[in-house]
């Protein structure tokens, strides 16, 4: 496979200049300029730092990488990664794959509690944390914690991303009918 397969390094070659020598050792031609047209014999790689977060992987994937390598990947793993990418597979660190899949997974709409649905709809209507706290008779700090948990459930890390995901999954299409006690803090 190595003789006719070319490797296009999308990004990160400056982080790992020895990569071209390693690819040459494995028998691959390295392309660093002028991205090739769609070609079955070209694997597009991106290189990231070992301690980068999953945002660097997302950027690389958005840029069109078939696979993402970390600086210093051992030669045998480099070969396996290239062969897997050529076969249509992508290797990612388990923590990154888990994080990305959580962000892409559609939540179970039925799993949203009444309070979470109220928070989601109030947020979509433009209500502030203070307004929601007043309406629910709870502290602003508690509202922020509930919103943070809701954003996590929706695979987001901020209000805007959460609302985009909620709209994508149809969670904002119809107003939620709440039970009268869903808006107040449970009594003990």
Q: Which CATH number does the domain housing residue 143 bear?
A: 1.10.10.10
Strand partners, 44: 8
Q: Is the pLDDT of residue 137 over 60?
A: yes
Q: Which domain holds residue 169?
A: 109-183
Q: Among 103, 130, 155, give the residue marking a domain's end.
A: 103
- pLDDT tens figures, 3-52: 478 888 888 888 888 988 999 899 988 887 776 676 778 888 888 887 77
Percent of the chain scoring above 90 in pLDDT:
18
- pLDDT tens figures, 73-107: 899 989 998 998 888 888 777 777 777 776 666 66
Helix 140-153 vs helix 129-136: crossing angle, to nearest 10: 110
We report the CATH number of the domain holding residue 60 as 3.40.50.2300
Q: Is the pLDDT of residue 181 over 60?
A: no
Question: Sheet holding 29-31: strands in order across?
Answer: 29-31, 6-11, 42-48, 67-70
The pLDDT assigned to 188 comes to 45
Instruction: Copy the structure tokens of residue 99.
Output: 């994080």
CA distances from 151 to 52, 112, 174, 177 (A): 23, 12, 19, 21
Q: Could you tell me which residue, 43 or 182, shows the higher pLDDT?
A: 43
154 in any annotated domain: yes
pTM confidence score? 0.52
**Phi and psi at residue 47, to the nearest 5°:** -115, 135
Q: CA 9 to CA 120: how far, in whole Å?
A: 42
Q: How many helices (H) and strands (E) does the chain have?
A: 8, 4
* Co-location of 92 and 48 in the same domain: yes
Mean pLDDT of all residues belonging to the chain: 81
* Co-location of 121 and 56 in the same domain: no
Output the CA torsion sign for 71, 72, 74, 79: positive
Q: Among 103, 131, 151, give the residue marking a domain's end.
A: 103
* Co-location of 22 and 89 in the same domain: yes
């Amino acid at each position: 496979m190595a003789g006719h397969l070319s490797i296009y390094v999308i990004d990160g070659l400056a982080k790992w200049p020895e990569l071209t020598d390693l690819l040459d050792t494995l028998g691959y031609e390295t392309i660093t300029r002028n991205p090739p047209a769609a070609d079955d014999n070209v694997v597009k790689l991106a290189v990231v730092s070992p301690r980068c977060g999953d945002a660097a992987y997302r950027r690389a994937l958005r840029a069109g990488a078939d696979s993402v390598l970390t600086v210093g990947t051992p030669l045998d793993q480099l070969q396996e990664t290239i062969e897997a990418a050529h076969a249509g597979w992508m290797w990612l660190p388990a923590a990154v794959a888990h994080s990305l899949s959580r962000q892409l997974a559609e939540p179970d709409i039925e799993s949203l509690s009444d309070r979470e649905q109220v928070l989601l709809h109030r947020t979509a209507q433009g209500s502030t944390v203070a307004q929601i706290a007043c309406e629910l008779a709870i502290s602003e700090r508690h509202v922020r914690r509930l919103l943070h948990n809701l954003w996590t459930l929706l695979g987001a890390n901020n209000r805007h991303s959460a609302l985009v995901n909620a709209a994508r999954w149809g969670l904002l299409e119809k107003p939620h009918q709440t039970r009268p006690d869903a808006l107040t803090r449970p009594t003990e």
